[in-house]
Amino acid sequence: MKRNIKDKYTWVGTLVAIVFVLFAGCAFGQFADQRVAENTLVTNGFTNVKLIDRDSIFVGFKGCGKGDTALFTFTAINPIGKNVTVKVCQGWPLKGATIRGT
């Protein structure tokens, strides 16, 4: 059975598109999980944690580290009982979450 060259290029194009979508999702923090960021705060003694913003564009310029892909902003009560706004930077897939003060 002879294969058509057009079929080969269709599969290659589809594969390239899938790889691009996965790369873009990773690079722009679309796979970062809000629950991981919330659990990081709760584990460190914060209570009444509420998400107010999520950002995944240029988070390195907003106080996050080199490997971070998402920035979550929460309101919470800190371990000493004060209401605070706190940022959590998160990387994906191998980097965890880091609490940043505001």
Total count of domains within the chain? 1
- Biggest CA–CA distance in the chain, Å, is 73
- Reply yes or no on whether the pLDDT at 25 is more than 60: no
Would you call 90 exposed, middle or buried from its count of C-beta atoms within 10 A (0-12, 13-18, 19+)?
Answer: buried
Q: What are the tens digits of pLDDT across the range 53-81?
A: 999 888 888 889 888 889 999 999 999 99
Model pTM score: 0.69
Enclosing domain of residue 39: 5-101
Q: How many other C-beta atoms can be found within 10 angstroms of the C-beta atom of residue 29?
A: 22
